[in-house]
Amino acid sequence: MRSTSISVAAALSCTACAAAFVACSSEPARAGDGEAAPAVSLGDAAFVDAPDADGSKIVVDGGFEGPDGSVIRADRFVTKVVSATYGDCAGYGLTAMPGVVLGPPVGGGSLSGGLDVVSLGFKGEIVLGFEPNAIVDGPGVDFLVFENAFWAAGDPDHPAAELGDVSVSEDGVTWKTFPCTPGAGPTYGTCAGWHPVYSAPGNGISSIDPKEAGGDPYDLADLGVTTARFVRIRDLGTVDCPSNPGSKPTTVGFDLDAIAIVNARTP
């Protein structure tokens, strides 16, 4: 995959780059290709960012390699795509499904969003499971949702975000949804898709540490739920799909990278 670098002005002129930089690309990323993911240049603001990722998910017996050489169980992440309903202007990452959303995140840090994602399209929806594991209510954050948000021009007050609401279920039938009412700007509360992702394979940041990994944090206690086997994400339609068929991008909507269980029934 060729490396790409574009200026802030060019990035913001791209149809969907105001919300997620993958709108400037039509080539899906794949985990494990051994190449660094393309990045959008947003200047050289002086702040600490996540180390570069190696671009692959390091698979070991029983799961994925952790930052200290330990093994993180595969079912601490998504193991199954139960269903997916893609909205208009979806398409990015579809050829890499379901693998692109399985396993740990491949984050790009706060300067650029990762490309190891699938775009749900305008008001698209996806339901995911963690068989045979489950999320349980424990101390603090119980699970993390990773999109590919980043800070436009390095400014944390201006996240480039495509938002989604997050629901959980024990049986896949009855759902409880974290309140999400996006306003004109951050903060976006318990909407998903507005916190940068710092954890990536090989960069030494644990994907199951909510203090370091980045992503959007969720606590089951906020919903009065004790356990959840399924997570559903719905794009909120904060970025429109162009009406001209000849100019439709394939990158509109929530861009899902991964989900990690922090408090697991089976750690």
Question: Which of 30 and 151 is assigned the larger pLDDT?
Answer: 151
Cα gap 123→179, rounded to integer Å: 17
Domain that holds residue 41: 1-267
Looking at residues 241-259, what average pLDDT do you find?
A: 91
Please list the helix, strand and coil fractions of the chain in percent, rounded to the nearest 5, in that order: 10, 25, 65
Predicted confidence (pLDDT) at residue 94 exceeds the cutoff of 60: yes
How many domains is the chain partitioned into structurally? 1
Cα gap 171→174, rounded to integer Å: 7
24-50 pLDDT, tens digit each: 333 333 333 333 322 222 222 222 334
**What's the whole-model pTM score?**
0.80
Predicted confidence (pLDDT) at residue 3 exceeds the cutoff of 70: no
Predicted confidence (pLDDT) at residue 216 exceeds the cutoff of 50: yes
Position 56 scores a pLDDT of 79
What is the overall mean pLDDT for the chain? 82
Position 243 scores a pLDDT of 85
Position 1 scores a pLDDT of 26
Task: At 37, give phi and psi (nearest 5°).
Answer: -70, 145
Above pLDDT 90, what percent of the chain?
A: 67
